Amino acid sequence: MPEQARPGGILFDKDGTLFDYAKSWSAINLDAARLAAQGDSALGTTLLEMGGAHPETGLAAADCLLAAGNAAEIAAAWVAHGSSFTVAGLTGLLDELFCKAVSRMVPVTNLPALLTRLKARGVRIGIASSDSERAIADTVAHFGLPTLVDFIAGYDSGFGYKPEPGMFAAFCAACGIAPHEVAMVGDNLHDMEMGRRGGAGWRIGVLTGTGTPESLAGNSDLVIESIADLELALFADPSNG
């Protein structure tokens, strides 16, 4: 991690990074499997397990399909494993479910306060998620962040999927920032790999998602408990401590 520089931009993952994954998404995973299985409890269990989630709690494992995949990827896998929907049909239903779940998201910290402080430092803020662009925009609006977020990209925004670097490159282009000036912050390997491929100056893993210290350590510059610790990690003055 560069020691002499401070980031000019921070690109956040959404779920598991800005929002606590277990508190926000475990129940939604259960709802998604029930929807895809159309009431068939045995099939629902199968879909959850192949997606990497516990069939009773919905809690997802590190870097599994439900933790890191997008609606289209989840739909394709679930149709291949027995859901009777078409991939396109199930993708649309999952996207709609996820959009309706915006109010169920649990922020990791006071997001308006954190982003306001970062903006005061001159930092450009972006969100890159495997959720849809509409769901990201709805989330930004619901939590009062529109004036604080400079860029959003979802899996359907036309920049490709994580871990490809397209969303990262689009953030840099939109904000006029060089890749090495950007910190990529996320909770799983897809985020860290997107940052690596994009040339991020900092790759910071957080533990409020499905990633673990073990899964993130070898693929990030730093692992912190949550974005509540981000300012200390990025802007602390070494001369003061």
Q: Given this model, what pLDDT does residue 236 score?
A: 79
Total domain count for the chain?
A: 2
9-12, strands of its sheet edge to edge = 151-153, 124-128, 9-12, 182-186, 202-206, 222-224
Contacts of 194 (CB under 8 A, 6+ apart): 128, 162, 163, 164, 165, 167, 168, 184, 186
Whether 184 and 113 share a structural domain: yes
Q: Is residue 4 part of a domain?
A: no
Whether 111 and 210 share a structural domain: yes
Q: Is residue 205 part of a domain?
A: yes
CB 9 within 8 Å of CB 181: yes
Whether 116 and 87 share a structural domain: no
Average pLDDT over the chain, rounded to whole? 94
For residues 101-112, one letter each, b for 16 or more C-beta atoms within 10 angstroms of the residue's C-beta and e for the rest, the string is: bbeebebbeebe
> Domain end: 84, 104, 124, which one?
104
Q: Is residue 207 part of a domain?
A: yes
Whether 37 and 76 share a structural domain: yes
Whether 209 and 153 share a structural domain: yes
pTM of the model: 0.94
Q: Given this model, what pLDDT does residue 238 score?
A: 42
Q: Is residue 1 part of a domain?
A: no
Encode the chain (241 residues) as per-residue pLDDT tens digits: 555 478 999 999 999 999 999 999 999 999 999 999 998 999 999 999 999 999 999 999 999 999 999 999 999 999 999 999 999 999 999 999 999 999 999 999 999 999 999 999 999 999 999 999 999 999 999 999 999 999 999 999 999 999 999 999 999 999 999 999 999 999 999 999 999 999 999 999 999 999 999 999 999 999 999 999 999 999 975 444 3
Q: Give, for 15, the enclosing helix (H) or strand (E).
A: none
Residue 94 domain boundaries: 22-104
